[in-house]
C-alpha cells in the first residue's frame, strides 16, 4: 500500500510545484526581467548614439564662424527686449532726420506659421511696434533702409505716408520684430 | 484410496497465481520510478528557473546602473543649446526669405511716376498671407500725365492690378485720382544687394 501512495504523492507534488512556481516564475518574473534588460540595452545603444551625435554637433557648432553666430543671435535674440529696439529706432530716426512723435507696442503677433502650417509649435515669437513721425522723403528713405538692414530683424507690415506742401511728410508705420521663444 | 470431500485440498499455492502477483509488483515499481523521475526533473527545473531568475535580476540591476551612468553623462544644457541653434538657424532662414524691404518699391515708384505727378497720401498694407496692397491718392498735371503713369505701371509687371479711380478735373485743370494696386512680393523682398544708405544700427544685446 505504501509503495503506491508515495509515487502518487510525488506526482501530485510535481504538478503542484510546476504550476505554482516554475511556470509562473518563468512566464512572469523571468519574462519581465528579459523585457527590462532588452529595454535597457536599447536605451544604452540610444544613449551611445546620442552622445556621439551630440559630440559631432558640438564640433560642428564650434567650427562655425562665431561672428556670424553672434549676428544671428542679434537678428533673432532670446528675448523680445522691445524697449531696446524702441531706443535703437529712436536713435536711428534722430540720425536720419526723422522726428519720431510716438512709438508703441501694438500687440503680440499671432504665432508665425511654419512651412507645414504648425503655427502652435513655432519657436519664433513676434510683436508689432507702431510708430509715427515726420520728415522729408530723403530722411524717410534713410530711415527705411536703416530698418531694412538692421541687425535685429524688423519687417514693416503697414505704412501710411501723408504728404504736405512743405515737403515734410507724416509717416505712420507698423514694424514687426521677432525673437526666439 | 479416495479422499473424502470433507478433507481440504493441498495448501500449496497454484503456480499460476504466483506469476500474476510478480507482474503487479513490477508495474508498481515502474510507476514509482516514473513518478520519482518526474518529481526529480520538476524539482531540478524549479531550482534552474529560480537561479535563472536571480541571474536575470542581477543582469537587469547591472544594466540599470549602466543606463543611469550613461544618462548622467548626457549634457542636457549643451543639447538644448544645439536645439536652440537649430531653431535659430531654421527660423532665421525662413524670416530672411520673407524679410520686407519697401525701399525697392519706392525705387520702382520713383521710376514709374512722371515728374508732374504727385501722390498726396499712400498706404501700403500686408495681410497674413503676404499679399501687399497699395492705395493712394494724388494729383496729375493732366490726363496725359495720368496715362503716362498708367503705361509705366503696366510696363512694370511687379506693380499689378493698377486701377485709377475717382478721376476728377480740379479748378486748376489738374487731375486728382485714387489708385489701388497689388505689389508682387518679389518687389518688396529683401536682397543683400539692396543699396544701403546707412549701416544698420538697431541691435539688441
Distances (CA, A) of A134 to A146, A148, A162, B57: 16, 19, 9, 79
Decide if pLDDT at B65 tops 90.
yes
The pLDDT, as a whole number, for residue A80 is 87
Contacts B63 to A, Cβ<8 Å: 36-37, 40-41, 44
Query: What residue of A is the nearest CA neighbor of B138?
Result: A163
Please give, rounded to a whole number of angstroms, the shortest distance from the CA of B125 to a CA of chain A: 4
Question: pLDDT tens-digit profile of B116-166?
Answer: 898 999 999 988 787 899 999 999 998 889 899 889 888 888 888 899 999
Identify each DSSP E strand in chain A by its residue range. Answer: 99-108, 124-135, 154-162, 169-180
In chain B, residues with a C-beta closer than 8 Å to the C-beta of A112 are: 91, 94-95
- Mean pLDDT, range A143-158, rounded to an integer: 92
State the pLDDT at residue B198. Answer: 46
Cα B73 → chain centroid = 27
* Strands laid side by side in the B117-126 sheet: A99-108, A124-135, A169-180, A154-162, B117-126, B132-140, B175-183, B159-169
pLDDT-derived band at A95, boundaries 50, 70, 90: very high
The residues, ordered by sequence, that sit 6+ positions from B41 with a Cβ below 8 Å of its Cβ are A14
pLDDT digits (tens, 9 = 90+) for B22-52: 556 677 778 888 888 999 999 999 999 999 9
DSSP B2: P
Scored b (16 or more CB within 10 A) or e, A22-44 reads beebbeebbeebeebbeebeebb
Of A33, A84, A92, Cβ closest to residue B204: A84
Question: Cell 473424502 sits at which residue?
Answer: B4
Model-level pTM greater than 0.95?
A: no
In chain A, which residue's Cα lies nearest the Cα of B121?
A: A162
Determine whether A105 is exposed, middle or buried from the number of CB atoms within 10 Å of its CB (0-12, 13-18, 19+). Answer: middle
What is the distance in angstroms between the Cα of B10 and the nearest Cα belonging to chain A? 29
Looking at every residue in chain A, the average pLDDT score rounds to: 87
Q: Quick check: B197 pLDDT over 90?
A: no
Q: Model confidence at A114, in pLDDT bands (50, 70, 90)? A: very low
Give the closest-approach CA distance of B136 to chain A in angstroms.
9
Predicted confidence at residue A178, as pLDDT, reads: 92
Phi, psi dihedrals of residue B123, rounded to the nearest 5°: -135, 125
In this predicted structure, what is the pLDDT of residue A15? 93
Reported as a pLDDT band with limits 50, 70 and 90, residue A159 is: very high
Interface of B with A in 117-136 (CB under 8 A): 118-126, 128
* Percentage, residues of chain B above pLDDT 70: 81
Q: Please tell me the distance from the alpha carbon of residue A79 to that of residue A72, in angstroms, as a whole number.
A: 13
Amino acid at each position: 500500500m505504501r509503495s503506491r501512495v508515495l509515487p502518487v504523492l510525488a506526482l501530485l507534488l510535481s504538478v503542484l510545484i510546476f504550476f505554482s512556481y516554475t511556470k509562473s516564475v518563468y512566464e512572469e518574473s523571468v519574462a519581465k526581467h528579459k523585457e527590462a534588460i532588452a529595454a535597457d540595452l536599447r536605451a544604452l545603444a540610444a544613449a551611445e548614439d546620442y552622445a556621439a551625435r551630440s559630440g559631432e554637433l558640438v564640433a560642428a557648432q564650434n567650427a562655425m564662424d562665431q561672428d556670424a553666430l553672434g549676428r544671428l543671435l542679434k537678428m533673432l535674440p532670446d528675448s523680445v527686449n522691445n524697449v531696446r529696439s524702441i531706443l535703437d529706432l529712436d536713435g536711428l530716426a534722430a540720425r536720419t532726420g526723422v522726428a519720431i512723435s510716438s512709438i508703441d507696442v501694438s500687440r503680440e503677433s499671432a504665432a508665425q506659421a511654419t512651412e507645414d502650417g504648425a503655427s502652435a509649435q513655432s519657436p519664433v515669437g513676434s510683436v508689432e511696434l507702431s510708430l509715427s513721425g515726420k520728415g522729408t522723403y530723403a530722411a524717410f528713405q534713410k530711415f527705411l533702409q536703416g530698418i531694412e538692414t538692421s541687425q535685429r530683424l524688423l519687417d514693416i507690415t503697414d505704412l501710411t505716408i501723408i504728404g504736405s506742401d512743405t515737403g515734410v511728410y507724416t509717416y505712420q508705420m507698423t514694424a514687426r520684430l521677432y525673437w526666439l521663444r | 484410496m479416495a479422499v473424502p470431500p470433507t478433507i481440504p485440498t493441498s495448501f500449496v499455492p497454484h503456480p499460476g497465481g504466483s506469476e500474476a502477483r510478480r507482474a503487479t509488483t513490477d508495474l508498481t515499481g515502474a510507476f514509482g520510478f516514473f513518478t520519482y523521475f518526474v518529481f526529480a526533473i520538476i524539482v531540478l527545473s524549479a531550482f534552474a528557473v529560480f537561479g535563472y531568475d536571480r541571474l536575470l535580476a542581477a543582469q537587469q540591476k547591472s544594466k540599470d546602473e549602466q543606463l543611469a551612468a550613461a544618462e548622467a553623462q548626457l549634457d542636457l544644457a549643451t543639447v538644448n543649446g544645439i536645439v536652440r541653434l537649430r531653431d535659430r538657424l531654421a527660423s532665421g532662414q525662413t524670416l530672411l526669405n520673407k524679410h520686407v524691404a519697401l525701399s525697392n518699391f519706392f525705387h520702382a515708384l520713383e521710376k514709374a511716376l512722371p515728374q508732374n505727378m504727385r501722390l498726396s497720401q499712400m498706404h501700403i498694407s500686408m495681410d497674413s498671407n503676404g499679399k501687399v496692397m497699395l492705395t493712394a491718392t494724388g494729383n496729375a498735371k493732366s490726363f496725359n500725365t495720368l496715362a503716362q503713369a498708367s503705361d509705366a505701371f503696366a510696363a512694370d509687371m511687379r506693380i499689378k492690378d493698377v486701377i485709377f479711380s475717382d478721376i476728377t478735373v480740379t479748378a486748376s485743370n489738374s487731375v486728382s485720382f485714387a489708385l489701388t494696386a497689388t505689389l508682387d512680393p518679389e518687389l518688396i523682398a529683401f536682397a543683400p544687394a539692396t543699396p544701403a544708405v546707412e549701416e544698420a544700427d538697431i541691435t539688441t544685446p
